[in-house]
Structure 1
Amino acid sequence: MGIHVIKMPDIGEGIAEVELVEWHIKVGDEVHEDQVLAEVMTDKATVEIPSPVSGRILALGGEPGQVMAVGGELVRLEVEGAGNHREAAARPHESTAAPSAEAQPEPAPQAQKEAPRAEAKPAPAPRPAAAAPAPRRAPGEKPLASPAVRQRARDLGVELQFVQGSGPAGRILHDDLDQYLAHGGAVVASGYAARHDEQQIQVIGLRRKIAQKMAEAKRRIPHFSYVEEIDVTDLEALRVHLNAKYAASRGKLTLLPFIARAMVVALREFPQLNARYDDEAEVITRYGAVHLGVATQSDSGLMVPVLRNAESRDLWGNAAEVARLAEAARHGKASREELSGSTITLSSLGALGGIVSTPVINHPEVAIVGVNRMVERPMVVNGQIVVRKMMNLSSSFDHRVVDGMDAAAFIQAVRALLEHPATLFLE
């Protein structure tokens, strides 16, 4: 048997370090070739690291949330043959060490040397028994349990986050619930009982990147927000008509592709908003292509996949591409290329859009358009009070690059296009 060390691979694009987000294995696991070992995160995307060999895990090179250098030791395995670790040949006896010693990442040789001196002491004897329970869960890690165990815990008022599991991979069993209650485990009482529990959640992975990105954007960009009310009654009537006629053959349309089209048309007159600002080099780059970032909520947090060349597709083409990108982002399958390179961003909270929002600019862009909820309101039209479908656009701009007058004029242009939807398709 030999030792094989897997190092953090070079992911490309000049990346020197990555953040370790999640382990898919633990010490003692048997893994096979191409099995995913861990997920790491770059500035742009989450990347899965597969195993190039089969073997048994001896040691893990870091903890979730730790930033690791490219080329650093990621995983150490015991493999058939000589392995690739130079010290393996010098210590062939390690492959026959007791299981309890192998489970330790590094100190197996030292433990063997010190064993004769420890034989006279009774204290170390209980240590192997203490290793039987599953490893303690990391902060924020979801406890594993069957639906039946979860239902029983709810009935008992027990929070599984505080129950130690003894099953495979730390899974909580019915016996674990019994042990928890037998040893004075806290039960959440019904009614208005006071609570004193606390939960610490380590900010790692995508949540850390979001926090850093938002802090950087607010620290570096002087935001200027502008809100405009839009009558989308005619636009909504057109959308309903198109869906009734073409949904079966072309797909269903939401309001988003119409708004994307309005932005594409309006940016022809206001190219200074379809730009990125390098504030260190003090260079503004304006783009002819509209690479529209579409803010998308996932289980892990906010992601911004990019609808590339939005100007080159029709309504259904943009709708299909947005749906594909959103699905990939929500399931963590979006590539680095699909999450980078946007020139302006569209953000929408859908039915939760509220009346007004203050979206944060996606640095280094200079503008973001936020869509609020569509509601029916009484409006005065030609001297008559009528019910109209109204929606606000809440947008933010980099005041170093975009003047207030230009920002307002751009949103007014978008408004005119959406209120007279036939003009969206005039070249």
Structure 2
Amino acid sequence: MLLTLSLVIAFLAGATDLKLGDIQGVEIAVVGTLVLSLVSTRTQLRLQGPTVVIDTLPRFLLLFLALGIGSLLSMRLPFYPIPNTGLLKQPPWATFVRLVEIIISVSTMFVITLAIGTRPENLKKVFTAYVWAAYVGAAWGIVSLVGWLAGIELPGATAGAIPRIRGFFVEGGPFGLYLVGALLIQFVRYFYLRYIGRGEFLIGTALLVVALAGAQSKSSIMLALLLVAAYLFVTKRLTAVMLLSPLVIPFVLTSNIVAGVNGYIESRERFSVLALTNPEDYNLVMGRVMASILMPRIVAEHPIIGIGIGNYSLVRNDPALLRGLPQVAYWDLPSLGLLGYLAELGVPLTIYVMYLYLFPFLQARKSRPWIAVLSIYPFGAALFGVQLNFAYPWIIMGMAFAALAIDASSRRLPSALGPDWHRTSDIREAPAGMGRSA
């Protein structure tokens, strides 16, 4: 039963916009799993499992304690509540609601790892649930994009000069980061674990790549480059890194990254004038450009303890921060990756959080390269914009921990997790007992 619930969690992680009120479907599934684990012996979640993940529990308890202290200390700040928003988005509740969301999201990592245990067949099922959720989101996004181009408004894409695919996410940026993780698992499933056949790999990968292109997520491109660099690093292919580095330059120049960066720079340079002359243009005075101006000011004012998790929207209207820029009347919580963490958590706790995101990679760097690359995904996702309360990086972290545990327990049978990537001649060998699916 615990494995079944973990499959539901892995699937729902691909639909952050699927909510009951303000509560995500994946959060409901996690809370339900935790409740069932307390009342039912069949689904009981015991703290017995791979040592590599059990040993992380004190580290995360320390994180929760630090976040809670930060939330309490944030009560010192002057808040500027957003009108016509629910009680849970008002001070002092907003920061504590975000803390609960983070605890729930981190819990997905423990649920996934303990549900998989040291059984490769369980890892295969969780991989499958995660990727098939990405298939569904990608297909819905593509259909919605086609609908927009045909004049039919569908919610799987966002409006704009060129609509962006967002699947079951709020916007294209986080959806793109999610798809990069799904593509990583897709490649592992086909090339190294031989879990799927050529047909599913080609069709599924094409679907994910088209959706990723339609999401127009610049951060997802940077994340993909980070994963490639990590793979080359752990396989000690430094020569390949040096040879491929010059190729990145024309790739970046011909992509929409430069246009996006130039747009941000131009927006920042003209921002004060534009904001003051167009205070009702919420595409201008809200979002990443405004946050890229306000968050450095927040970090400068509160470098040690930040403003408390989830409090950006409640302090961003502070006249001392705005310095003449217009206030807004809507909830504004953009994802700016590392800068966002620094603003809300402060420098010391941000460093600790990044250490926790990197912890699986530190454990896996001498393991199979595919496990190491899977392990660094959560860190890269956070670096490029995913917030602490999003479940899908924690789910992939749980998969990575489980893969580490399986690898450690099956050294006497190396084929349990597929051929060793260090021996490239073995890449196309199907491991014993785990051949291709029909």
TM range (shorter): under 0.3
Give the structure, 1 or 2, with the largest relative contact order (CA under 8 Å, sep 6 or more).
2
More helix by share: 2
| TM-score, with structure 1 as normaliser | 0.19
More strand by share: 1
